[in-house]
Amino acid sequence: MGEAIRAKINEEFRGWGLEVTKFFIENISVPPEVEAAMDRRASMGALGDAQRYMQFQAADALRDAAQNEGGGAGLGAGLGAGFAVGGQMANVFGQQQQGGGAQGQAQASTVPCPTCGKPNVPSAKFCADCGGKMEVAQVPCVKCGAKLREGAKFCSECGATQEKAKCTNCQAELAPGAKFCPECGTKTEG
């Protein structure tokens, strides 16, 4: 990045007969709020799920409480309340992940991305992982009627080829199992 900036600066400086030979960028800083949000996001990504994040937050709260000079009975009551709330929240997150309750079951159901196969919520229009389009046009199998993605060459249920037969006389498309061409009346081979 320093090289690119140095080149731009030198364009201006050449008019004055000057040249910048070295240009270093030592630090690019962001506002403290942005840095804190990035740290929290990195922590959540490293932990992987909400239950572990809640455990991480509880451990931070315990550390902060231990450093509190007040200590005494207030600390014990605060810790007890913190454990109770933390336990309830962990149970709620655990139920949602395991599909507990009607709402948890609705959230637990996922649809695989047709491009990369990663699970997504059923209402997603694009994959959260690869960005691929989630809506895939479906067409019926020419033999068994199973729903297939558009452009499939074979049926995933019965294995039948999805290329439609054509009349040997007029090249009209034939319906599956047709004995005669609907256009010219030629007897089919199948």
Q: Per residue in 49-77, pLDDT tens?
A: 666 667 777 777 777 776 766 555 455 55
Would residue 122 count as lying in a domain? yes
Range of the domain at 131: 110-136
Residue 85 has a pLDDT of 56
Would residue 153 count as lying in a domain? no
| C-alpha Rg value of the chain to the nearest Å | 32
Q: At what angle do helices 32-47 and 50-67 cross, to 10 degrees?
A: 120
What's the number of domains the chain is made of? Answer: 1
Would residue 120 count as lying in a domain? yes
Task: Write out the two tokens for 168.
Answer: 């040997």
Would residue 28 count as lying in a domain? no
Would residue 181 count as lying in a domain? no
> 116-126 pLDDT, tens per residue?
888 988 888 88
Would residue 128 count as lying in a domain? yes
Would residue 125 count as lying in a domain? yes
Distance CA 109, CA 95 (A): 13
How many C-beta atoms surround the C-beta of residue 54 within 10 A? Answer: 19
